[in-house]
Amino acid sequence: MTEFIEPTELLEKLNADATPLVIDVRTPDEFNQGHIPGAINIPMDDLPTRLSEIPKERPIVSYCNMRHPGNSRGERAAQFLKDSGYQALAIDGGFIEWNKAGLPVQAQSL
């Protein structure tokens, strides 16, 4: 079962010393339109082949737009990472809730 972190709690952790690694599991186009500052983009379909890029010693927070709660990409990514030996959570409500809370967003400059 996927565990969640609230967007505001994640922002507090990102501003603290023990920074989690935030992984945006949306497509590169979605990521480029706007993402959580400091997040890396590893699309859900690429996650199994890119595990070597993810440090096991850091907590991981994954997210997507969470349009399908219970079966979203962010939740599936967090569960996959947990099953692979990582400490992983998903953002409750995904990027949509992050935006609704008025939290910082970074867009890729083209």
Q: Is 1 exposed, middle or buried (0-12, 13-18, 19+ CB in 10 A)?
A: exposed
For residue 21, give the H/E element and its range: strand 21-24
Residue 87 burial (CB count, 10 A):
15
Q: Which of 36, 47, 61, 64 is catalytic?
A: 64
| CB 61, CB 90: distance < 8 Å | yes
For residue 29, give the H/E element and its range: helix 28-33
Active site residue 31: no
Catalytic (active-site) positions? 64
